[in-house]
């Protein structure tokens, strides 16, 4: 069977797997951003917390993704087989790029601008929300973009713990030793990643303040 | 109220035995034992080489820094007893390259402190127009532009307008014209000198340029390695015989010593 034939005959199955995959990624990214961006804003002011938070996020990044899925299964409440566990793992995985870029973006503002802001009588919170955040937004978004591309890839492995998505085809194809089946999962996943990368790249440029 | 306290209130700013050092290392003070009074409406220039402590002295006034020893009084109150946010909103601040917010329009930059102080929008708009005209920029042309669309000289004018926005009685200026080309700088110095005479603010102006000091200052305070070594009106300053004063006045004879 050629990849094209397989694709033709499993069109709707592939379509729904892509949708599943996308849902998994969107939920995971939404949670990851909701955690990492506020945390990044917090660690700009707190040095001790910064070392700890970036350290923990780095550790998660070094755990091989398949192993991380495996480790989570026996953990009560967040573990088990299925989508919930996969989302937890993906959120943990996406922390480092978003957290690091949020910190870099917020702390990389021209010191002269920060000095002026402080001297004009802006409070720390006002400086964070009205100066650091708008000026660091494109760097933060670059981190979100990296994390999204990584998450789309890693999410294929989530099929190993029964989370569904495009990884289903990849694992099935590996078991069947069929390139056609592997490609049915890999090609849409790659296209999703490219699409997300281009889209977020454009947003990043639009938000960049010269 | 005793005589000593009363005397304080005649001054806009007073340094009393101020020493400042970083990280609790008293052996290497940035500013050491400075006592100095600045009258209301006076333009005082802090002159000195790089690293002489002049910027540090300036930052001690609006509590960006707190003295390690001694006290700084602003309008008769020690800065350590003032709320730093309130204190700073009552003191204009201009730095080299203006430090304008690149994501704010010119109007938004100028309106910063009035906005923080929650003025109503009509009053803010009127104030922004008034200030742009004061610094010789056409409001219709510049209000909606961004700082990157302006020349260095224009940005510096906006910096001055922003500092004046909430009508602060005190203005701190840290080498505001330092990054400009000589022609633009001379232009702004002349205009600024006329402007300050008209506005009657208390101004503390930091520079390493002796010519600028002589042009703008009613008094010049010379700093060397954190010590106040001379304090005089421009005419008298030229005739002082301290070595550091002469090192600076020597620059006046050569054309190259100033344009740095």
Probe site for chain B from A112, A121, A133, A210 (most B CB atoms < 10 A) = A121
Q: Which domain holds residue A147?
A: 3-209
d(CA A97, CA B202) in angstroms, rounded, equals 49
Whether the per-residue pLDDT at A8 is higher than 50: the answer is yes
Nearest to B43 by CA among B208, B181, B196: B196
Rounded to two decimals, the ipTM of the complex is 0.85
Probe site for chain B from A106, A110, A120, A208 (most B CB atoms < 10 A) = A120
**C-alpha dihedral sign at B225, B230, B231, B232:** negative
| Out of B62, B99, B116, closest to residue A112 by CB | B99
Answer whether A140's CB lies under 8 Å from A46's CB.
no
Which chain A residues in 134-173 lie under 8 Å from chain B, judged by CB atoms? 134-135
Whether the per-residue pLDDT at B2 is higher than 80: the answer is no
d(CA A69, CA A90) in angstroms, rounded, equals 9
Whether the per-residue pLDDT at B238 is higher than 60: the answer is yes
Q: A115 and B99 in contact by Cβ < 8 A?
A: yes
Task: Report, as an integer, the average pLDDT of A111-131.
Answer: 94
Q: A120 and B89 in contact by Cβ < 8 A?
A: yes
Helix (H, G, I), strand (E, B) or coil at A179: helix
Residue A210: predicted pLDDT: 62
Q: Is the CB of residue A121 less than 8 Å away from at least one CB of chain B?
A: yes
Q: A121 and B148 in contact by Cβ < 8 A?
A: no
Q: A112 and B95 in contact by Cβ < 8 A?
A: yes
Q: B89 and A112 in contact by Cβ < 8 A?
A: no
Kindly report the pTM of this predicted structure: 0.85
Answer whether A207's CB lies under 8 Å from A137's CB.
yes
Residues in chain A with CB shorter than 8 Å from the CB of B93 are: 116, 119-120
Q: B101 and A121 in contact by Cβ < 8 A?
A: no
Residues in chain B with CB shorter than 8 Å from the CB of A209 are: 102-103
Whether the per-residue pLDDT at B6 is higher than 50: the answer is no
| Out of A113, A119, A123, closest to residue B101 by CB | A113
Residue of B nearest to A135 (CA): B103
Q: Is the CB of residue A113 less than 8 Å away from at least one CB of chain B?
A: yes
pLDDT tens digits for range B26-85? 778 999 999 999 999 999 999 999 989 999 999 999 999 999 999 999 999 999 999 999
Alpha helices in chain A (DSSP H): 3-9, 11-45, 47-62, 65-72, 83-107, 111-119, 124-127, 133-154, 167-176, 179-207
Q: Minimal Cα–Cα distance from B251 to chain A, Å? A: 29
Residues in chain A with CB shorter than 8 Å from the CB of B88 are: 118-121
**CATH code, domain with A110:** 1.10.3720.10
Q: How many domains does chain A have?
A: 1
Q: A134 and B93 in contact by Cβ < 8 A?
A: no
pLDDT tens digits for range A31-56? 999 999 999 999 998 989 999 999 99
Residue of B nearest to A113 (CA): B99
Residues of B with CB under 8 A from a CB of A: 62, 64, 84-89, 91, 93, 95-103, 112-113, 116, 148, 162, 172
Average pLDDT of chain A? 92
Task: Report, as an integer, the average pLDDT of A65-89.
Answer: 87
Answer whether B239's CB lies under 8 Å from B214's CB.
no
Residue B254: predicted pLDDT: 61
Q: Is the CB of residue A115 less than 8 Å away from at least one CB of chain B?
A: yes
């Amino acid at each position: 069977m050629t990849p094209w034939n397989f694709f033709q005959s499993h069109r709707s199955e592939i379509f729904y797997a892509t949708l599943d995959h996308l849902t998994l990624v969107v939920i995971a990214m939404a949670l990851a951003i909701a955690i990492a961006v506020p945390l990044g804003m917090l660690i700009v002011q707190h040095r001790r917390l910064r070392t700890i938070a970036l350290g923990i996020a780095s550790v998660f990044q070094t755990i091989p993704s398949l192993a991380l899925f495996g480790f989570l299964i026996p953990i009560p409440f967040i573990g088990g087989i299925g989508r919930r566990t996969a989302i937890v793992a993906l959120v943990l995985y996406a922390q480092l790029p978003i957290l690091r870029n949020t910190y870099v973006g917020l702390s990389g503002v021209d010191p002269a601008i920060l000095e002026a802001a402080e001297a004009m009588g802006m409070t720390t919170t006002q400086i964070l929300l009205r100066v650091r955040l708008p000026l660091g937004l494109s760097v933060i978004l670059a981190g979100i973009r990296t994390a999204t591309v990584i998450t789309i890839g890693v999410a294929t492995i989530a099929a190993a713990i029964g989370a569904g998505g495009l990884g289903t085809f990849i694992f099935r194809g590996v078991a069947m030793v069929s390139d056609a089946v592997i490609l049915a999962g890999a090609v849409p996943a790659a296209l999703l990643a490219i699409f997300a990368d281009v889209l977020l790249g454009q947003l990043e440029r639009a938000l960049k303040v010269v | 109220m005793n005589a000593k306290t009363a005397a304080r209130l005649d001054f806009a700013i007073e340094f009393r035995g101020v020493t400042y050092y970083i990280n609790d290392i008293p052996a290497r003070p940035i500013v050491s034992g400075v006592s100095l009074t600045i009258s209301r409406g006076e333009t005082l220039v802090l002159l000195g080489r790089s690293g002489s402590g002049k910027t540090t002295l300036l930052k001690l006034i609006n509590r960006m820094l707190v003295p390690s020893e001694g006290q700084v009084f602003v309008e008769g109150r020690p800065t350590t007893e003032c709320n730093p946010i309130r204190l700073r909103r009552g003191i204009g601040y201009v730095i080299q390259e203006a430090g304008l917010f690149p994501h704010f329009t010119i109007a938004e930059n100028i309106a910063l402190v009035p906005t923080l102080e929650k003025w109503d929008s009509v009053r803010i708009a009127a104030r922004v127009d008034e200030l742009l005209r004061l610094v010789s920029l056409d409001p219709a042309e510049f209000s909606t532009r961004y700082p990157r669309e302006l020349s260095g000289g224009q940005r510096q004018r906006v910096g001055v307008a922003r500092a004046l926005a909430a009508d602060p009685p005190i203005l701190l200026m840290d080498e505001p014209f330092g990054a400009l080309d000589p022609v633009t700088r001379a232009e702004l110095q002349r205009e600024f000198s006329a402007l300050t005479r008209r506005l009657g603010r208390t101004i503390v102006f930091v520079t390493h340029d002796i010519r600028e000091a002589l042009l703008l200052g009613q008094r010049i305070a010379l700093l060397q390695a954190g010590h106040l070594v001379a304090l005089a009106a421009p005419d008298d300053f030229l005739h002082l015989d301290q070595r550091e004063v002469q090192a600076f006045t020597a620059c006046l004879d050569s054309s190259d010593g100033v344009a740095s």
